[in-house]
Chains A and B, each alone.
Chain A
Amino acid sequence: MFRKLHDPGPQAVTIFIDGRSVSAEAGENLAAVLLRQAEGWSRTTTVTQSPRAPYCMMGVCFECLTEVDGVGSVQACLTTVRDGMRISRQLGRRVLSA
């Protein structure tokens, strides 16, 4: 669906989405990276488990919630990728882990 228009070259970093390594560009918006993945969705809703993808890209719609380095319900569109960042797509309601 979406693809990156240029090769980041030496600016390339690697992040991990559900354990899979994905190439991104330093300083890139996390929601943009999620949007160009093959699955097309980045979480399922807490009530009906319906799939959702980043939508407004400006921090207001909360569709792009994702787990970033263990912190839940982070807005991906307000997050900049860092090399080695670990992303988990949230499925339904999170479990409060002790």
Chain B
Amino acid sequence: MRPDIIVVGGGTVGAAIAYGLAGLKQRVTLLDGSDGDFRAARANFGLVWLQGKGMGLPAYQTLTRASIALWRDFTTELESLSGAGLDYENTGGLFFCVGEDGFDKRLSQLQRLHNQWDGGEPDWEMIDRAALEKLLPKARLGRNVSGASFGRLDGHANPLKLLMALHQGIVLRGGTVRSNAAVSKIERVGSDFRATLDGEQITAPRIVIAAGLGSARLAEQVGLVVPLRPQRGQVLVTERFDPFLPLPASGLRQTAEGTVMIGATQEETGFDVSTTSDAASRLSQKTVDVVPALAGATLVRQWAGLRVMTPDGYPIYAQSQSHPGAFVALCHSGVTLAAFHARDLASAILDGALPTSLTPFHQRRFDVSQAA
């Protein structure tokens, strides 16, 4: 059957949008690439996070807050539909500060961010070492840990189970998920869009491009120029431990299964998903400075993924002016923003117009300096 909407890209972003559209009674076809593609969704760290985000673009903090406000309800619905447990915990999150300098620097960063935002109460507070020790009675802290910022809206979830549940949810809502379905071409045919796959064409009146780093080439075919670059993030994973870290922290969290995830690097190394011993060493050192007992942990995995980065690091949401009905949705916080993508964004795409609250995320913001 001919779909109402084609979503190109089966990562967390595309899947959340498709899941939302299927819930709005749209016949959705999600076209996922292949395992040989760069798959950021499968390398994700799993934070559902607010604190520290949005420097220079307060609308991003507003967007992140809106998504987190939807997250619990979104998870409950998705879990009951798919039967999967997403391990979502939202009892707050930490950013560890090392040294008095580190504490002061974090405080001034968060204050600056809060002053830019101007939208009410801050989501964070600075806590000293004594308060931090009370929060983490089973983790002896390194001697230079001076405290932390505590974000009360922060949390974490299992990003792989989220992705799997979204794919299941699409199918259970009557949609179609196609794997090994990389799109090579998108054309306008009358008032429809025709996507060309390997030996096959699929046509629908609307199309959403959420194909991560593969998006630029496709978006260009519908009149949208989206500047993207890969940014490598490496993550380490330990053996499973009895729970000792009740709250996730930026770069350090204990999963529901007991493994400790340590992350993540930010490297401008192009389309290269190699892992490096240098990164393993730096990530380990940083972690042992905070929780020295982890020096005795056995690492079971190290992986690298490529973030989908725009020039300013913030998302791109846009509808094409030359090809109305074609949308693009790109970001590197697909987990935190999943609830927003499944609810508000899916519904705006169905309405055929993105709300003015998303205007700051149009990719035309990158054109300004070229025009000047």
Q: Give residues in A with beta carbon < 8 Å to B.
A: 46-47, 62, 65, 70-74, 92-98
Q: Closest CB-CB distance, A70 to chain B, in whole Å?
A: 7
How far, in angstroms, from A65 to B293 measured CA to CA in the complex? 20
How many cross-chain pairs have Cβ atoms below 8 Å apart between A and B?
A: 44
Q: Which residues of B contact A94 (CB under 8 A)?
A: 239-242
Say yes or no: A71 contacts B258, CB within 8 Å. Answer: no
Within 8 Å by CB of A70, from B294, B296, B300, lies B296
Q: Closest CB-CB distance, A61 to chain B, in whole Å?
A: 13
Within 8 Å by CB of A72, from B139, B258, B296, lies B296
How far, in angstroms, from A71 to B257 measured CA to CA in the complex? 20
B294 — nearest CB in chain A belongs to which residue? A96
Q: Which residues of A contact B296 (CB under 8 A)?
A: 70-72, 96-97
Q: Closest CB-CB distance, A97 to chain B, in whole Å?
A: 6
Q: Count residues on chain B whose CB falls below 8 Å from chain A CBs.
A: 18
Q: Closest CB-CB distance, A63 to chain B, in whole Å?
A: 14
Say yes or no: A72 contacts B257, CB within 8 Å. Answer: no
Interface check B69, CB cutoff 8 A: no
For window 282-311 of chain B, which residues contact chain A by CB distance below 8 Å? 291-294, 296-298, 300
Say yes or no: B293 contacts A98, CB within 8 Å. Answer: yes
**Given A47-B257, A93-B258, A71-B242 contact (CB < 8 Å):** no
A70 — nearest CB in chain B belongs to which residue? B296
Q: Which residues of A contact B140 (CB under 8 A)?
A: 98
Say yes or no: B241 contacts A93, CB within 8 Å. Answer: yes
Q: Closest CB-CB distance, A21 to chain B, in whole Å?
A: 25
Q: Which residues of B contact A96 (CB under 8 A)?
A: 138-139, 241-242, 244, 291, 293-294, 296-297
Interface string of B230-256 (1 = CB under 8 A from A): 000000000111101000000000000
How far, in angstroms, from A47 to B294 measured CA to CA in the complex? 21
24 contacts between A and B (CB under 8 A): A47-B257, A62-B300, A72-B296, A73-B239, A73-B298, A74-B298, A92-B242, A93-B242, A94-B239, A94-B240, A94-B241, A94-B242, A95-B241, A95-B242, A95-B244, A96-B244, A96-B291, A96-B293, A96-B294, A96-B297, A97-B293, A97-B296, A98-B292, A98-B293
